[in-house]
Amino acid sequence: MTPAKKSTLVLVAERAGVSTASVSRVLNGLPASDRVIESVRTAARDLGYVPDATARSLKVGKTEQIALAVADVGNPVYVAMMHEVSRVIAKDGYRLVLSSTGGAVQDEIDLLDGLNRGFADGLILSPLRVTDDLVARLRDSRLPIVIIGSLPDGVELDNVRADSVRGMGLAVKHLARQGRRHIAFVNGPVDTVPGAARLGGYLKAMAKRDLVIDPDAQVSASDFTFKAGLEAAEILLSRSTPDAIVCANDLLAVATMKVLAQRGLSVPGDVALVGMDDTDIAELANPSLTSVNLGSVARARAAAKLLLRRLNEPGAPVKQVVIEPSLTVRESSVHATEAVLS
Amino acid sequence: MTPAKKSTLVLVAERAGVSTASVSRVLNGLPASDRVIESVRTAARDLGYVPDATARSLKVGKTEQIALAVADVGNPVYVAMMHEVSRVIAKDGYRLVLSSTGGAVQDEIDLLDGLNRGFADGLILSPLRVTDDLVARLRDSRLPIVIIGSLPDGVELDNVRADSVRGMGLAVKHLARQGRRHIAFVNGPVDTVPGAARLGGYLKAMAKRDLVIDPDAQVSASDFTFKAGLEAAEILLSRSTPDAIVCANDLLAVATMKVLAQRGLSVPGDVALVGMDDTDIAELANPSLTSVNLGSVARARAAAKLLLRRLNEPGAPVKQVVIEPSLTVRESSVHATEAVLS
DNA sequence: AACGTTCTTGTAAACGATTACAAGCACCCT
DNA sequence: AGGGTGCTTGTAATCGTTTACAAGAACGTT
């Protein structure tokens, strides 16, 4: 059927013996007489007609596409988000256009310029770093944008963020309750939004419990990746001997786990370990990794819904959503005996 | 600047005092006098003009978008592919539209129908299952398609595939050379293309080396996922005590690794383990996982280039590419002493 | 029977770009 | 000076839809 021949609405109209307007109406479910409906339907079927998405977009001003830009497609947390966004918007008939910025602000700005060419109806952006320039561009974008992640105070844009300060609090509290006292911290780059927030959360939580804050027990990896985590963990363990380590994300945590193993330290026996993001790899890890769940999926879903809402009612008031964190306890942070008991 | 006001080519033409044709020419770098170029450029800048992607698409018949459909966005191998495809096509100015079919054939057929509406210029598809119906649709698609994965004999479509039979051969050979004799196999669903191929490869490799093929030492998970792997590994180990296990995929392998640990079996001491796909998680695993590299990234790159080629020269002859596998040896398959030596 | 509603349908103008074609112009040649 | 050559530029058609508007048909009402 329809052997590779493109047929247009005009052809259908001719074959059905009606005007193009009638064809369009029938195909869009607008009222028409049974006779016309019937002839258009069969003509369309015979010709294997499929409406052209581009032409429709041009006329109605909608592309039915939503762009998603994330820093690092290699990070499972972004993959999970991508998946969820895709799922939610698909229900409303939107397609997902993926733009992986390398985490560079310039890429994101370029993307915004591109966005104004109108290849998508809206954008979901999760920037690692937020500069004034970026904020300015975001603010006067012609298209709706939802930000996943924190924004500077006073910036009024739809956004949804995690409460990573509370998240770090959960991690530290959990470890303290397990009797750990020397809780170290493997962070990502502190010049990123999440890096800064997580450091703040760590310091706050430690101070709150009167745990000693040792500069030697803090290290920040050059990136939120496994490889960077290996280097960071080496440095940390060469100058400090903690009985627990919190990591700013799961990749850093499994890297740390690996370095601990190489040094003959057992997890959780010698060192308890907690990751962050609660991605798939937390479950895969051996021992499985206790991780702070920052609600990545929930954030992605909220962002997608926020964007859909704005597309439907452009005038709606700006909405900022905060997703509450929780802690998923697994093997890496509880003594074997307890794990068996629980 | 350009505070959220849409300006068109007509506006630019008016402001510059030239015709729309001239504006278009200047903006597309076609020859024009310096005077015209100058006035158009400044007019465009003043108005913050950005050409509309949809209108351009309609006229020139290109969307500058390429669709990618994979079965399971949760599987790191697809993520790696996605990443690579995105990278390659971006160089030629294409955007990536992601369509995650749940692995269901029907989803893929729906996608093809959608494709004919012309929202993308081409498609890269990696189907888990290939039915006659799907092949038929693929064949008379109006748009260029590249398949990642094997196709039934005689189907002439651009495609790039892995040689998983040889891949399994590498895994078995490696394990045999390590002195392993009871080599078990954790497969994915056998009604999938990769599942069937990997089983075939396993049997062939075992037969070739006169290793005993024990039905009890073969199990197929209900899916290529970690969870399905846990169940499959449980079954396998409850009825067989192999000294090595090959898994059809890295997720199944880490699941197996976990079950082995739970049963107090050491890797590679008691059981050597080899995964397949050589994804990021092979490196993260503890012990790190020896894995057959089926060239996922190379396949993705080849597929992207094949599609770009076909977009540039539609009449080019059909090309089928096979990527050679290799084995990445890590800790999970070699005795500790050897690992230290190497 | 004339008139006003309501419903169906067609005509034609958009949407915002690209581009074939022709016209205008300067220039050079013989 | 006449006529070809080669540029630059504008006019207008076109891509494939949707949709405002008006015209026509059908029907009920008085």
Tell me: the pLDDT tens digits for A86-97? Answer: 999 999 999 999
Do residues A174 and A205 lie in contact, with contact meaning Cβ atoms separated by under 8 Å?
A: no
Closest of A191, A220, A2 to residue B143, by C-alpha: A2
Domains A61-161+296-323 and A164-294+327-341 in one fold: yes
Strands A95-100 and A320-323 turn out to be: unpaired
Does the distance separating the beta carbons of B98 and A52 come in below 8 Å?
A: no
Contacts for A43 with CB less than 8 Å, ≥ 6 apart: A12, A15, A16, A23, A49
Mean pLDDT of B156-176: 97
B105-115 vs B132-139: helix crossing angle, rounded to 10: 10
The integer distance in angstroms from the CA atom of A23 to the C1' atom of D24 is: 19
Bridge partners of residue B96, in order along the sequence: A98, B66
Residue labelled with tokens 């603010």: A139
A253, A274 contact by CB (below 8 A): yes
SS3 percent helix, strand, coil of chain B, rounded to 5, is 50, 15, 35
Instruction: State the pLDDT confidence band at A337, using cuts at 50, 70 and 90.
Output: low
**One-letter amino acid of B152:** P
Q: Is the CB of B29 under 7 A from strand C?
A: no
Neighbouring CB atoms inside 10 A of A133's CB total 12
How is residue B317 annotated by DSSP? Answer: P
Nearest-angstrom CA–CA distance, B278 and B85: 18
A80-113: burial string, b at 16+ Cβ within 10 Å, e else: bbbbbbbbbbeeeebbbbbbbbebebebbbebbe
- Tell me how far CA of residue A71 lies from CA of A68, A102, B214, in angstroms: 10, 5, 47
Closest nucleotide to A25 by C1' from CA = D18
Q: What is the pLDDT of residues A30-49, one digit of tens each?
A: 999 999 999 999 999 999 99
CA gap B341, B339 in Å, rounded: 5
* C-alpha atoms less than 13 angstroms from C-alpha of B321 in its C-beta half-sphere: 20
**Pair type for strands A95-100 and B95-100:** antiparallel
Query: Is the domain covering B164-294+327-341 a CATH 3.40.50.2300 domain?
Result: yes
Residue B1 with chain A: CB contacts under 8 Å: 140
Q: Which of A5, A79, A283 sits opposite B73 (nearest CB)?
A: A79
Do the Cβ atoms of B210 and B269 come closer than 8 Å?
Answer: no
Report strand pairing: B290-293 vs B272-276: parallel
**B3, pLDDT greater than 50:** no
Find out whether A132 and A294 touch, Cβ atoms under 8 Å: no
Give tens-digit pLDDT for B269-310: 999 999 999 999 999 999 999 999 999 999 999 999 999 999
CB-based contact B99 A98, cutoff 8 Å = no
A262: which 2 tokens? Answer: 């190489």
Q: Say which amino acid occupies A136.
A: A
According to DSSP, the residues that pair with A100 across neighbouring strands are: A70
Q: Cα dist. B224→A82, B71, B101 in Å?
A: 20, 10, 15
Residues 212-231 of B with CB under 7 A from strand C: none
State which residue has its Cα closest to the C1' atom of C10.
A19
- CB contact set of B9 (below 8 Å; sequence gap of 6+): B20, B23, B24, B49, B51
Reading across the β-sheet that carries A326-328, which strands appear in turn?
A218-220, A183-187, A244-247, A272-276, A290-293, A326-328
Residue B340 confidence (pLDDT): 43
Residue numbers in B near A118 (CB within 8 A): 52-54
Residue nearest to nucleotide D14 (CA to C1'): B59
Q: How high is the pLDDT of residue A260?
A: 98
- Rounded distance in angstroms from the CA atom of residue B48 to the C1' atom of nucleotide D15: 26
Q: Which residues contact A81 (CB under 8 A, 6 or more apart)?
A: A68, A70, A126, A148, A296, A297, A299, A300
CA pair distance B126, B72, nearest whole angstrom: 10
Q: How high is the pLDDT of residue A114?
A: 87
Rounded Cα distance between A43 and B34, Å, is: 53
Q: How many CB pairs below 8 Å do chains A and B form together? A: 132
Report the amino acid identity of residue A235: I
Chain C positions with an atom below 7 A of a protein C-beta are: 7-20
Superfamily of domain A61-161+296-323: Response regulator (3.40.50.2300)
Q: What is the pLDDT of residue B339?
A: 47
- The CA distances from residue A100 to A173, B84, B90, in Å, are 35, 11, 10
- Average pLDDT on A315-328 reads 96
Average of per-residue pLDDT across A208-231 = 97
What's the longest Cα–Cα distance across chain A?
84
Report the percent of chain B where pLDDT is more than 90.
Answer: 88
Q: Where are the domains of chain B?
A: 9-49, 61-161+296-323, 164-294+327-341
φ/ψ of residue A320, rounded to 5: -120, 125
**pLDDT at position A5:** 67
Confidence of residue A69 (pLDDT cuts 50, 70, 90): very high
Measured CA to CA, the distance from residue A284 to residue A254 in angstroms comes to 10
- Provide mean pLDDT across the span B88-113: 90
Contact A65 B258 (CB under 8 A): no
| Residue A74 confidence class, pLDDT cut points 50, 70, 90 | confident
